[in-house]
A and B are shown apart, each in its own frame.
Chain A
Amino acid sequence: MKPQDKQKYLEEYEFLKKKGKPFFPYAVMKDSVMALIVVAVIIAMSVILGAEQGPKADPTSTTYVPRPEWYFFFLFELLRVIKPPELVPIATIGIPTICMVLLLLLPFYDRGPERRPERRPIATTAGIITIIAMAYLTYLGATGGAPTEVEMQVSKKYEAGKEVVAGAGCLACHKLGENGNNGPGPELTHIASRIPRAAIIRSVEIGPGIMPSFRELPPQKIEQLADFLSSLD
Chain B
Amino acid sequence: MPSFPKPKIPDAVVPPPLRKPGKPGSGGTPKGQAPADLKETPERKSAGDKMLEVGKEAPIDALGWVDQRLAASGFLTGMLFRKVPKGTNWFYTLGSATLFAFIVQATTGVFLAMFYTPSATQAYSSIAHINNEVPLGQLVHGMHKWGSSVMVILIFLHMGRTFFFGAYKYPRELNWVIGVVLLILTMTMAFTGYLLPFDQRSFWASIVGININGTGPVVGPYLSDFLRAGPELGATTLSRFYAIHMLLVPGAIIALIGAHMYLVVKLGTTAPPWVKAERPKVAAPVSQLDAGANGNGRVNGNRVNGAPVDGEGNGGSAL
Contact = CB atoms under 8 A, between A and B. Distances in A.
A joins B in a complex: yes
Given A19-B316, A51-B145, A210-B211, A38 B97 contact: yes
Interface stretch (A23-31, A153-161, A197-205): A23-31
A178 interface: no
A93 B213 contact: yes
Contact of B204 (A23, A65, A120, A124): A65
B190 A46 contact: no
A6 interface: yes
B200 A56 contact: yes
Contacts of B190: 69, 71-72
A59 B150 contact: no
Contacts of A127: 160, 163-164
Given A13-B85, A104-B177, A115-B165, A63 B200 contact: yes
Contacts of B67: none
Nearest to A128: B164
Nearest to B163: A127
A24 B10 CA distance: 13
Interface string B139-150: 111110111111
A10 to B, nearest CB: 5
A46 B150 CA distance: 11
A141 to B, nearest CB: 12
A152 interface: no
Contacts of A111: 169-170
Interface residues of B, number: 104
Contacts of B17: none
A47 B146 CA distance: 10
9 contacts: A14-B4, A17-B83, A17-B84, A20-B271, A21-B84, A22-B84, A31-B97, A72-B190, A116-B274
Interface of A: 1, 5-6, 9-24, 26-28, 30-31, 33-35, 37-39, 41-43, 45-47, 49-59, 61, 63-72, 75-76, 79, 88-89, 92-94, 97, 100, 103-104, 106-108, 110-117, 120, 123-124, 127, 131, 169, 207, 209-213
Interface of B: 2, 4-5, 7, 79-88, 90, 92-94, 96-97, 100-101, 104, 120, 124, 127-128, 131, 138-143, 145-150, 152, 154, 160, 163-173, 176-177, 180-181, 183-184, 187, 190-191, 194, 197-205, 207-209, 211-217, 220, 232-233, 268, 270-271, 273-277, 279, 281-282, 309, 313, 315-319
